[in-house]
Amino acid sequence: MGDFNDILHANEKKGRATRPNWLIRGFRQAIQDVGLIDVHMEGYPFTWFKSLGIDRAVEEKLDRALVTTSWLQMFPNAKLENLALPSSDHFPILLDKTPVVRTYRAKKSFKFENAWRIEDGVNDVVRDSWFGSGGNSIINKLSNCAADLTHWSKTHCNKIREDIESCRKQLFRSRSTTGIQDVTQF
């Protein structure tokens, strides 16, 4: 967590001239007067960009989460994360007030991946699972189908996971080194 005196300084803007301190002084003072604290953001520090790819490009940390000391005491493990969304000039931020530190592996809920639709064999898995469940209720058929698709995905869809992870790493490297102007090259 950061003191609000540190907010909106040079490390929160990249490109173009910095704005004069007097433009933000009143805002800073109001935040201090009510005792708000800036939640530290993990990951890429800038949440907005303009004119990327040209000399006048600018990136700034415009979005933030401000909390009180009492709120922070109730949620001491809170974290703020900058999410990747290259289709907008604003990156969304996510405030997670209770990040889970898992000591056990919780059972994941089933999520159908749209990318499976183009994979060879997915239709066979669904058909075999559905009709192989016999006279079971629809709930049991869905549960069996979800389990079969999950198992099939682990053995047949590694390329999708590898591609996603590769893109994630490439996006992180791009954002960390040269800024987000390289994100559009994916």
Query: For the segment 132-142, what is each residue's pLDDT rounded down to a tens digit?
Result: 877 778 888 88
* Token duo for residue 23: 């433009």
**Which residues neighbour 59 within 8 Å (Cβ) at sequence distance 6 or greater?**
13, 14, 15, 46, 48, 49, 52, 179, 180
182 versus 141: the higher-pLDDT residue is 141
**Amino acid identity at 44:** Y
Kindly report the average pLDDT of the chain as a whole number.
77
Range 18-47 average pLDDT: 83
* Token duo for residue 47: 């949440």
* Beta bridge mates, 60: 13, 48
Give which of 4, 156, 146 is closest to 67, Cα–Cα.
4
pTM as predicted: 0.46
**Which residues neighbour 121 within 8 Å (Cβ) at sequence distance 6 or greater?**
152, 156
Query: For the segment 107-120, what is each residue's pLDDT rounded down to a tens digit?
Result: 678 888 888 888 88
